[in-house]
Amino acid sequence: AQTVTQSQPEMSVQEAETVTLSCTYDTSESDYYLFWYKQPPSRQMILVIRQEAYKQQNATENRFSVNFQKAAKSFSLKISDSQLGDAAMYFCAYRSARGKLIFGQGTELSVKP
Amino acid sequence: GAGVSQTPSNKVTEKGKYVELRCDPISGHTALYWYRQSLGQGPEFLIYFQGTGAADDSGLPNDRFFAVRPEGSVSTLKIQRTERGDSAVYLCASSLTGSGSDTQYFGPGTRLTVL
């Protein structure tokens, strides 16, 4: 069975600085997808960024980028130029070729002005 | 366009009662998912529909939980004989197809409290 682990329950960053959230996963599959979701206090899960396992190039979405290390089964999220609105719970998630998402335990990010 | 909607947003019930939670997916999305999120945890998968049929119900914790999607659009999660341990946020998501490459879009969830 696939598992996702986020080892940082809480992280803090100064506004305008850069922060990296860690995620590792375990799978025996070769075809899969990885995601980072953001969940603010409103509870709405919002997709931040996604990575296809077959792609070697790391995904980037504006201030958000990932460091995908397939052999190490690592998938970290880097947030550059942090903003107050980035404060939220961040979940790393794994998905097979079809079906459900498997989530990590989450990292609560606070942004200090 | 309209996103995934869930009703009610909050539901308080007493132990032993029956509850129904509703999910309206994004129009045209054939895949629909239910997840349960306990306090301080990541969402856990319950059930996945492809069209009208349950393609994967391996996450349903026991036979008190049941879900339907009779017309391939709206889905209802039904919980019988509720227990205090059922208290959680129930999230619904939909995607265009069931492919892993499709983004799952989430609703705001229903917070269920069992007294």
What residue type is assigned to position A79 of the chain?
Answer: I
Does B91 sit within 8 Å of A96, measured CB to CB?
no
**Given a cut of 70, is residue B13 above it in pLDDT?**
yes
Judged by a CB distance cut-off of 8 A, whether residue B2 touches chain A is no
Alpha-carbon separation of residue B60 from A17, A51, A79, B36, B97 (angstroms): 42, 28, 35, 10, 22
Give the residue numbers in A contacting B (CB under 8 Å), as ranges: 4, 31-33, 37, 42-47, 50, 52, 91, 93, 95-106
> What tens digit of pLDDT does each residue of A91-102 get?
999 998 778 899
Angle formed at CA B93 by CA B88 and CA B94, multiple of 5 degrees: 165
Please state, as a whole number, how many other Cβ atoms lie within 10 Å of the Cβ of residue A88.
21
Does A97 sit within 8 Å of B99, measured CB to CB?
yes
Identify which of B42, B107, B111 has the shortest CB distance to residue A106.
B42
pLDDT score of A106: 97
Identify which of A91, A98, A100 has the shortest CB distance to residue B42.
A91
> What tens digit of pLDDT does each residue of B24-68 get?
999 999 999 999 999 989 999 999 999 999 999 999 999 999 999
**Chain B contacts of A101, Cβ < 8 Å?**
33, 35, 43, 45, 93, 104
Low-confidence residues of chain A, pLDDT below 50?
A: none
Judged by a CB distance cut-off of 8 A, whether residue B53 touches chain A is no
ω into residue B8 within 30 of 0, thus cis?
Answer: yes
Q: For chain A, where are the E strands, in sequence order? A: 3-5, 10-14, 19-21, 24-26, 33-39, 46-52, 60-61, 64-69, 74-79, 88-95, 101-103, 107-112
